[in-house]
Structure 1
Amino acid sequence: MTAAFAAVFVALFVAHQVADHWIQTQHQADCKGRPGWPGRIACAAHVATYTLTALVALAALALSTDLDVSPGRAAAGLTISAVTHYIADRRTPLKRLAELTGSAKFYALGCPRPGRDDNPSLGTGSYALDQSFHYLFLFVAALVIAA
């Protein structure tokens, strides 16, 4: 299981990077955290393409290495990844988690300030917490898939 876990985790990690930064549309990125149905729909669309990207990566891994991936375990792992990705990308749950864990100041680090001409960038605390949350559940998903 050790080699299988490592291979599955790498496949999910690469898929995550590609799906979050190349596949996700600008509309999805801009709207997925908005309140109401427009935000929910944008986030669901992003998570759908994200999960499809992960499925393609897993299939490529399995086909190119003869890794035996159980369809049931793959479905369970990808579901864990998809649900937790949706939760984090709706933004409010992750912000609340940061507040509960005493990380609210870090969450706000580098975020544009209202009324200022701050330039938003990927170097924010909220982005770092978002990515680490995703990595945690990619780890869990890989454990489930490779078990």
Structure 2
Amino acid sequence: MFASLFVLLYIGHLLADYPLQTDHQATHKADRSAAGWAANLRHATTHVVTCTAALTVGAVVLDDVALSAPMVLAALLWIGASHALIDRRWPVQWWMNHTGQTSWAANGGAAHVDQTAHVLALALAALALAAG
């Protein structure tokens, strides 16, 4: 069940991060202002909505997906919160600065570290859902 859940959450993530993310959200979600937080939270909400839809479809269509409502709620809260934190950008910058990746960060590596952090958060959510 873990693999099915992970794929469903990853599809939800890709939809929210690429075709459903507005230019305004992408540009301003890390701004240190009320408008930045608003853009960030709208984007994180999109992740929660798309992952909810993906899990719903999976639960209806796939035989191996059986979900507990409290665990789904916890997983979706985790997805929204972790996505909002990672997209503030400072956690990725902090990581790269403290792990000897400053050159890679200056040459476009931050986007890869950002996506790796998101995928890790999704994997943890899928594990919790599979265990619950």
TM-score tier, shorter chain, comes to over 0.9
Cα RMSD of the aligned pairs, angstroms, is: 1.1
Runs of 4+ that moved beyond 3 A: none
* 112, 121, 128: which one aligns with 1:137: 121
* 65, 71, 74: which one aligns with 2:72: 74
**Structure 2: gaps of 5 or more residues:** none
Deviations 1:28-59 (A, max 9, x none): 11110111111111000000011100000000
Equivalent-residue separation in structure 1 for 2:92 and 2:58 (angstroms): 31
Residue 100 of structure 1 is matched in structure 2 by 98
* 46, 51, 62: which one aligns with 2:48: 51
Rg larger for? 1
Displacement of 1:93: 2.0
> 1:88, 1:130 within 8 Å by CA — same for their partners in 2?
yes
Deviations 1:83-115 (A, max 9, x none): 111111011122112212222222221xxxxxx
Equivalent-residue separation in structure 1 for 2:106 and 2:76 (angstroms): 30
Helix, strand or coil at the partner of 1:102: coil
Residue 24 of structure 2 is matched in structure 1 by 27
Equivalent-residue separation in structure 1 for 2:34 and 2:98 (angstroms): 26
Number of residues of Structure 1 aligned to a counterpart in Structure 2: 130
Q: Between 96-105 and 51-60, report the one with greater CA deviation.
A: 96-105
